[in-house]
Structure 1
Amino acid sequence: MSRSITIAKAGLPPGPKGTLIGGNISQIGPRRVDFFLDLARTYGSIASFRAGRWRLFLVSDPELIQQVLVTDARHYIKHFGARAFKPILGNGLVTSEGDFWLSQRRLMQPAFLKAQVLSYAPIMAELANAMVSKWSPGQAVDLEYEFSVLTSAIALKTLFGLDDQGDHEGVYRSLMEAFDLLTIRLDATFTLPISFPTPANIKIRRAVARVIDLIDDFIARGRSRPLGNDLLSTMIMAQREDGSRMTDQQLRDEAMTLYLAGYETTALTLTWSWYLLSQHPSAERKLADEWARVLGGRTPTANDLAALPYTSAVINEAMRLYPPVYAIGREATTDLELGGYRVKRGYTILMSQWVSHRDPKYFPDPERFLPERWLDGLTTRLPKFAYYPFGGGQRLCIGSHFATMEAAIVLAAVGQKYRFTIAPDAVIDIKPQITLPPKYGMPATLELR
């Protein structure tokens, strides 16, 4: 029934007028999440706008989101925004499609089974303690950078079996530059193919090449040692039903995807969690009390997590307000119906966690940081796609359990020893890319707990 367009309304869903050539690009602006939120609040659960030649529907109703991501999923592919990051992500799980994606997903699933993920908890705790041991009271730090270094080290150890000996600053800057340049390209009304040697394209190619060289080096070093318990070893040994294994290119694409996803998104969850806690001392006191009661100063383990509900609530609330990935897009491969409107082939359906997670229907006082809202079974009462920081449907993030466990262990390991005061003159803002980093970093001062 969902494919029928016989009952579809004539015309487009309501939305703002745009210019003939650029559409609504000038209205979207660098803080595009504000545009999305205003669009949903002004025009309702399904709204229409245009970015250059792309026609988009912004959908914020959980049932309609479920229709796109689950019911009609086979009739959609990743949208132009996701494809724009293929130079970095290659043909990994985030960007691949169809039978190839399904084959790769099945091949990699064993690496993310519960027992395998739980085995990484001691590594996460050990590296968090190692980071804290290098800090000193009164030290000024950039929380985004510090947690990026930590989650990069965790990704290196769990993904490639490598101890972290990298150039942190070089890795961090190369990745940020590549993301920045690709985001600027995505926002442009008109672009030439990346192969065309414009100054901007040359910068993109150089930044991407540095990141690819980095991952290739990780894989080469990982291959040079005996197979172990890391994800790369699992991927190297994984076999399809016909006995075939991943090619070197497939290994690189999946390793690139897992490294960037495992490093960037969890670092942002930790960064925004501590920012919010620094602004809400009563919530931080409740968190510290929970750690004192359950852990008593010792290093957290995976077995402790069930006894740390407020820790989990803080992470859930941080991902509600600052979802690491703030939007998901799907492009229709055939004419469809959605919310009574005709979705033509080539149209993009955009679903924004930033918008959905601020719906007062499901989250009263939505702009308020309130971890307590998660302590009374809220997750069981919410519609499936009212809260979806890791996406949903078949393409639910394969590393979601890894990420939530990592965030909880690091939060507790670090937070028992230090608290953070955000610099009083700091300008805290967001910089939407494929993820949602702070625009100017997160400057803070370390204080002993």
Structure 2
Amino acid sequence: MALYIKGGRVIDPANGINKIADVKIEKGIIAGIDDYSGAITEADEVMEAAGKLVVPGLIDIHCHLREPGLEAKETIATGTRAAARGGFTALCAMPNTKPVCDSQTGVEFVINRAKAAGLVRVYPVGAITKGSEGQELAEMADMAACGAVAFSDDGKPVPRSDIMRLGLQYAQMVGKVIISHCEDPELAKDGVMHEGYWSTVLGLRGIPAASEAIMVARDILLAESVGAKLHIAHVSTARSVELIRQAQWRGVNVTGEVCPHHLALTDADVEGFNTATKVNPPLRTDQDREALRSALNDGTLTILATDHAPHTAEEKACEYNYAPFGISGLETAWPLFWRELVESGVMTLPSFVAAMTVAPAKRLGLPGGTLSTGVAADVTIIDPEYTETVTLENWQSKGKNTPFVGQTLRSWPVATIVGGRVVMRDRQVIG
């Protein structure tokens, strides 16, 4: 039996495809686009996609699934349900779990749990340092050998330059990318929002933009000195953008990602003290937001990621100063990015799709990101005209910490297909 996706606008930036076409899936594999032999039989399944977008399965290279050790916030099972509802077919799980994913055992645990409980593909990111404490390199070669796709101490910076340099060298040796959480811990210490006008008005301790930019500059220089691959997580400031742009002009192998909340919100949105707006790096200024948009427009930044960071309701139900950082972002990422980047004309539709498919896949060497004949059938179908108001009624993540409740957004994933298996249809997760 084959699955036919009929009459949708197929956008596959990896192959330069942007046309109304049919996609055939057979035995979990893309069997072709448009050019088939044989007619559709009664045994075949047909998904009508007229008026919809048919794109490679979305890939998120930055999310937190919390398992093991923090299952009250999220599990691999619930996180992958949220991903399926958000149109994602593959996730890269950050290592800041308890215990930290800093060994072969940790990587294998994530892989095995994802196979047993997950609806979408999960790729582990290993820690750069043991326990993400920044003092001693983790078992990077062993983790790479058993399935780690990249290395990061995300949630924390690597404060020691000598250790970060060694990490970059080891990552280069095993052909992996370092994903850097760029933050000067002393400058950011005790800060809860962006340092500026609104932190002063609200009486909250600020995190200066320089805290991020200083570490972006350091890590770029270190990567440049050893010829390593560097990816800057959750870029949030104009100065960071300029540093990345200048480094790329010099030929440094550095990329960066943008998260939906840094495009959809600014530090002014903290005014109501809604702890769902507390995120690290913090919501920045209008000027910073415009710099991110410009960087996505000109290709300086090429990857869109969620930094999905779920927390329990109890943890967020406190004074702003004491709430944990993080926004639960998998389920609203596409429509938020659509509003901020496509409807506003910042990105063309093919470049936007590429930033959530082929660009992250290529950067980390992941399978997927394309609808090429013969590859696994990971497909997302989007209805660009469908509107939905964000509520927690059908929310799949354990983390309900989203500042977008009540907002009506346009353009939502309506079907998610992983390896030819439909795991979400009509906004409902299956399985």
**Category of TM-score, reference length = shorter chain:** under 0.3
Of structures 1 and 2, the one with the larger relative CO (CA 8 A, separation 6+) is 1
TM-score, normalised with respect to structure 1:
0.27
Higher helix share: 1
Of the two, which has the highest radius of gyration?
1
Q: TM-score, normalised by structure 2?
A: 0.28
